[in-house]
Amino acid sequence: MGDAAWWLRSLLFVPGSQPAMIAKARALGADAVILDLEDGVAPGDKERARRAVADALDEGFPDALVVLLRPNGLHSGLLDLDLSGAFRPRVDGICLPKCEAPAAVQALDARLRILEDRWALPRGRVRVLPMIESARGVLQAPAIARASPRVCGVGFGAEDFTADAGIPRTREGGELAWARTAVSLAAHAAGVPAVDGVFADFHDEAGLRADAAEARRLGYTGKMVIHPAQIAPVHAALAPSAEEVERARRVVAAFEEACAGGSGIAVLDGAMVDRPVFLRAQRTLALARRAQGARGGS
């Protein structure tokens, strides 16, 4: 799977203890599913969930669907049981929860090398999506994002972060602004996507759209979801609007015309267009093409 496949708009959490939900998730239209063995599974159901996930992976998933496994974290005492019991070759990556230091990614990397050898997979094929979910994790995010070539993105978990930091959680999410921005910047500095956490109220579509739009403004290109009804609104919120695309096309055309005439600056609608503005417009058009391609392939 090439790196382009890791441009994921929606990542749907599915409890590993719910085989019927896993089966339905194959055809719900998400870009990725996260088969969850951690917070989505009660302590007494962990072993049953491992068996259910392993069975589902053996049955298979559509080729276009990215499949991630979220085991319990490094310090839970359950990580090795989760990997040995539930991992199968169909797993594209590991969603590493509550990651607080690059050493956690590196410890997982060592385990994945063993699994790849055991299952005759190419070395480095299984990717890692570390989840930043604590104050310490936010401060370590730049190092975490660069901890291994396996890192395919960096995720931000607002619910665990606010619990860890003792911050009241609000619907508007203003309390998350600094940490959310810091994680996005860490991801972009490392050259990997930033993936935003869940919006918990799956009945509130307007709130979800606003939350996803804010995530996009902060540089996130993907968002985790907990209900199928959240997939389409997230896809729409993370894609450039028709107006943005048209404006970007005009910016690119004006700048290229100026460059052809020997100038590095254009003027469009009374505003200066220089190279940074041109590059932003190109990025907008690239996002639009990817979104269109994803719709065409769904």
Q: What is the DSSP string of 161-206?
A: HHHHHTPPP-SS-GGGHHHHHHHHHHHHHHTS-EEE---S-TT-HH
Point out the least confidently predicted range of 61-65, 156-160, 202-206, 255-259: 255-259
Give the residue-averaged pLDDT of 97-114.
Answer: 98
Measured distance CA(180)–CA(44) in Å, rounded: 33
Mean pLDDT (the chain) is: 93
- pLDDT interval class at 298 (50, 70, 90): very low
Tokens of 27: 């055809």
**Span 128-139, mean pLDDT?**
98
Q: What is the distance between the alpha carbons of residues 183 and 139, in angstroms, rounded to a whole number?
A: 9
pLDDT at 3 over 70: no
d(CA 174, CA 193): 22
Phi, psi for 135 (deg, rounded to 5)? -60, -45
What integer is the mean pLDDT of 274-297? 80
Q: CA end-to-end span of the chain, whole Å?
A: 18
pLDDT digits (tens, 9 = 90+) for 60-87: 999 999 999 999 999 999 999 999 999 9
Confidence check: pLDDT of 54 > 70: yes
Q: Which CATH class is domain 3-238?
A: alpha beta
Q: What is the dihedral of CA 17, 19, 23, 29, to 10 degrees?
A: -20
Domain spans of the chain, in order of start: 3-238, 242-297
pTM above 0.85, yes or no: yes
The pLDDT of residue 240 is: 86
248-268 per-position pLDDT tens digit: 899 889 889 889 999 989 899
What pLDDT sits at residue 4? 42
